[in-house]
A and B are shown apart, each in its own frame.
Chain A
């Protein structure tokens, strides 16, 4: 789960990670009030969406007066921001963050993420603040300095010194940086964060380090430990159908094709998308119905897939293990009674009791249901009907 910049900065402050003063606003009047309360004569108005690249897209603007704060907030609220991370459809701005202007002497990058190969968190820093870190990694990897932190010893001064020397910081600046990095490590570990990115981290004229931006993502599996973080979830930032699927224990991601897929297991679901493409079609979605595949989940699955009007056929691909195929077949029949399935459904059931399942489907004799013998046969049939071939 990701949170907004203003929320991440709230978390930072709790741990003593320095940030500029600021507040969130949902209207231009509120934006003015927030600005008034800040002891500053220069403000930054920042669109709050879960995506990077806001500055270039016009989502971060400087204001020199309270009137200007109100004006910019007014323009920004309700606008659709398109950045390289939002996709072409962009994201509607529903809140802005008003922050005091900062005295920027230098910009850096600082981030934390799990290194899966080393199986420990890594803190990364770079002198190339304000730039896309992936771009820096690709073009000038020598400008990124990394330290892997063994969680059993925790973040030590030597880790911080290594980063500070890598950034070329002088003796006087090191102290402020080391304190900053140590606090950030605590933010990451205490909250089961998946990722933290500060871009830019700035050094002020006085040599102090401040997080000018903040992005944070959390491990969904650990949210039960952190109620205050879980409450920061912003449903506006989630695709409504995907969120709806999640509430029913399904994992759904909408894609651009016209062959709907309903599969048990994430790996097989991805493989099903792959084979549809391989057979010349385009998958309309990823949908993992999980281990259960009972009438309720299957019916919900049909509903969600059919909410996408591009869908011309549905490929149900279930490999029955502990879940027996005959039960799944009955579930499918039951689901078609509850939901009006307007497109042909190709059904491939394999594994435990597959023969009985085929019998059940054949006897039901529903016109819209086309049985398939295996993965390839199912994919071919689903692609063919989506194209209008019989």
Chain B
């Protein structure tokens, strides 16, 4: 078991024939992901990486029964691509594109919700169910199969966390990079209950960042609904106030959104809060031992 994607998932790629889309689609297919085709307007009818190219998402869905779309469309056009996916019957859009205008994503997300499509990202590494399905830009070899779910705002820190979990002798069920932009799709609030319900996942690692209050909402939810151990790290304990840290979302405004505040809330909710990012793996070991 896993969450959201597995070996049976049929996925298409929007921006399939572009440089990024081609490179990563190829990597995903090599990992074993069932990519059934792609969409690039005006290239319909072509074959790319051995898979059919369609002009529209609707055609692609009708021809392939794909339920998931991985999106590599450039920032200026990505909101349109997301809305097309929602309109075309996609159930989950994984938006990798970095640099999307916030307002565009706001409209796209509102429309996706209206159409009942889930989104991940933008500006994220994607989602991977270890040794089954990779839809994203993460290095697949780091994610060995196991019993730990992983949710993270950051890309390379996700790899760091997974690496530590694997080196500690465990592995990953599903890992999701949710992205650090102001408007994002699935977040801790939706993903934690999915991991709670997944019989294979025994512990959940969540990596947060300064800025916003998603981690505070997550703390509330952990307290009320999550019985599995949660190991949490919040990046940016040493970040100066009001400074921007590369991710548009990582701004501290006043007292809201500081690492200290988030760590405190998570501690009170019963999570294992890790102070040093080097201790994620060891803390997973400890949490799983205490569970038994």
A-side residues, CB < 8 A to B, are 85, 114, 116-117, 119-120, 134, 137-138, 150-152, 189, 192, 194, 219-222, 224-225, 251, 253, 255, 263-279, 283, 286, 288, 319-322, 350-352, 374-376, 379
Contact = CB atoms under 8 A, between A and B. Distances in A.
Contact of B159 (A251, A255, A321): A321
B245 A119 contact: no
B243 A267 contact: no
A288 B156 CA distance: 11
Interface residues on B, range: 35 or more
Contacts of B53: none
A295 to B, nearest CB: 19
A151 B107 contact: yes
A59 to B, nearest CB: 19
A148 B180 CA distance: 22
B106 A120 contact: yes
23 contacts: A114-B106, A114-B182, A116-B182, A116-B212, A116-B213, A117-B213, A138-B255, A221-B99, A222-B104, A251-B245, A253-B240, A264-B156, A266-B247, A266-B250, A267-B180, A268-B157, A270-B245, A274-B276, A276-B238, A283-B238, A286-B245, A286-B246, A350-B160
Contacts of B172: none
Given A116-B249, A119-B109, A134-B254, A321 B103 contact: no
A322 B248 contact: no
B240 A114 contact: no
B110 A351 contact: no
4 closest pairs, A vs B, by CB?
A267-B154, A265-B156, A266-B246, A376-B278
Given A253-B243, A267-B235, A221 B101 contact: yes
Contacts of B110: 119, 150-152
Nearest to B249: A116
Contacts of B153: 267
Contact of A271 (B75, B217, B233): B233
A268 B254 contact: no
A273 B103 CA distance: 31
Nearest to B103: A192
Nearest to A282: B238
Given A220-B248, A322-B139, A270 B159 contact: no
Given A116-B214, A286-B243, 7 more contacts: A219-B103, A267-B152, A267-B158, A267-B247, A268-B154, A270-B235, A322-B139
Contact of B154 (A220, A265, A273, A320): A265
Most B CB within 10 A of own CB, among A137, A267, A271: A267
A253 B137 contact: no
Given A267-B156, A268-B157, A322-B27, A274 B236 contact: yes
A274 B277 contact: yes
A267 B155 contact: yes
Interface in B249-282: 249-250, 254-255, 259, 275-278
Contacts, number: 166
Contacts of A274: 235-238, 259, 275-277
B80 to A, nearest CB: 14
B235 A271 contact: yes
Interface of B: 27, 75-76, 99-104, 106-107, 109-110, 137-139, 141-142, 152-160, 163, 180, 182-183, 207, 209-210, 212-214, 217, 233, 235-240, 242-250, 254-255, 259, 275-278
A270 B210 CA distance: 9
Contact of B156 (A116, A255, A268): A268
A267 B248 CA distance: 12
Contacts of A137: 254
Contacts of B141: 352
Given A270-B236, A286-B245, A189 B103 contact: yes
Contacts of A350: 160, 163
Contacts of B156: 263-265, 267-268, 319, 321
Contacts of A220: 248
A271 B233 CA distance: 9
Contact of B103 (A222, A322, A379): A222
A351 B213 contact: no
A85 B243 CA distance: 11
B183 A255 contact: no
A272 B239 CA distance: 11
Contact of A253 (B99, B209, B245, B278): B245
Contacts of A277: 237-238
Nearest to A354: B163
A152 B248 contact: no
Contacts of B210: 270
A266 B107 contact: no
Contact of A320 (B103, B139, B242): B139
B112 to A, nearest CB: 11
Given A320-B139, A322-B27, A224 B76 contact: yes
B248 A219 contact: yes
A271 B180 contact: no
A321 B235 CA distance: 20
A266 B245 contact: yes
Contacts of A224: 76
B23 to A, nearest CB: 8
Contacts of A221: 75, 99-102, 248
Contacts of B214: 116
B157 to A, nearest CB: 4
B247 A219 contact: no
B157 A267 contact: yes
Contacts of B239: 270, 273, 286
A114 B99 CA distance: 17
